[in-house]
Amino acid sequence: MCDSQADKASTSCPIQSADQSSAQTPEPGIIVGQHIRSPLARAFYFKLKEDEKNQNDKHVYWYRVIVSRLSEDLQSKFVQFDQDDGADKFLQNCQDKSDAILSQIFFSLARPILNWFMTQTSINGLLNQGSMYIFSTVVLFFADYLTGAPCAGDGMVTAQMSSYFDKTYATEMSGVMARRLTGMGYHVLDVDQWSESGLEFDVVSCLNLLDRCDKPMTLLAQIKKVLRPDTGRLLVAAVIPFNPYVEFNSRTHEPSELLHVTGSNFEEQVEQLARVFRQAGWVVEKFTRLPYLCEGDLRHSFYVLTDVVFVLKVS
């Protein structure tokens, strides 16, 4: 299910990536929209205009990597993807849900109230909102490793992989989300005990979690313990720019184990993450750039962050 990135995604630009130019002359429709008095009508008007622009856009900038900025080693491991049928369907579903005005008004009123005593992740689970999408065809990354044994994962995105495995396990900090995952047929493991369960996995997915957990280096070490020797692989997704924020059990929201990931662009931060993985005893086999999409609201049909997705093996 959608994880603690949902609140982060809701503050991001819905149609532009970091390297896409935003300096444009206002269109006539923009000028007209600014004179609509009703805030709700004005927001819906701009959303319709935005939806028109996105209707036939394949968003190539979401997937673009300047390969020449990378080291020779990483250049050879980059895999190019583009917007596939799965992403098209998700974006259309986002638009349909966003167009349901009465439902969106209810969600906009309910969120501030629920925010007093629930985390954003739990609110999304309770309201069945904020679903995320990262990939569908990217499972081809695992063409050599899909052997039908158990897979560990975290979130609804795991559904894109679960059909390749006999059993799918998940972990979840939010009690609301954990109950939803159980209802979806996943085996939910305790967040503090999963690495001691005695289970052995062919693939572990760690999707947009390293910047949301308190001890990311400890997590990488725990995953090593449960992967099947030699053939086991780890799928890691991380939002770029990398910005740690611990949602659960933290007063400061700062992780106790800080990953030092710096850089002024996507490629530099990818290099830094690859360095972190090497130091933790992992080897990068493949990587790609994908959009991390989230269902929208009355103002935007969807929101998007930039993800780097790695396939790692134990060194």
Query: Which tens digits make up the pLDDT trace of 42-73?
Result: 777 888 888 888 888 999 999 999 999 999 99
Say which DSSP state 227 is in: B
Q: Taking residues 224-240, report their average pLDDT.
A: 92
Confidence of residue 253 (pLDDT cuts 50, 70, 90): confident
Global pTM reads 0.77
DSSP code of residue 26: P
Please state, rounded to an integer, the average pLDDT across all residues of the chain. 78
* Dihedral pair phi/psi, residue 90, rounded to 5°: -65, -45
Look at residue 192 and give its three-state secondary structure: coil
Kindly report which listed range (20-34, 129-143, 209-223, 225-239) carries the lowest average pLDDT score: 20-34
**Whether residue 17 has pLDDT greater than 80:** no
> Helix, strand, coil shares of the chain as percentages rounded to 5?
40, 15, 45
**Angle made by CA atoms 304, 177, 206, in degrees to the nearest 5:** 60
pLDDT digits (tens, 9 = 90+) for 126-170: 556 557 777 765 555 555 555 555 555 444 566 667 777 778 888
| Higher-confidence position of 311 and 198 | 311
The Cβ-side half-sphere exposure at 76, using a 13 Å CA radius, reads 4
Unique residue bearing structure tokens 């739990």: 122
**What is the C-alpha separation between 41 and 279, in angstroms, rounded?**
53
In this prediction, residue 5 carries a pLDDT of 41
pLDDT, tens digit, 9 for 90 and up, residues 192-212: 888 888 889 888 888 888 998
Q: What is the pLDDT of residues 5-15, one digit of tens each?
A: 434 444 344 43
CA 113, CA 117: separation in Å to the nearest integer? Answer: 8
The residue whose two tokens read 């349909």 is 96
Q: What are the residue ranges spanned by the domains of the chain? A: 6-13+61-314
* CATH code, 6-13+61-314: 3.40.50.150
Per DSSP bridges, beta strands 168-171 and 203-207 are: unpaired
Give yes or no for residue 31 having a pLDDT over 80. Answer: no
Rg (CA), the chain: 20
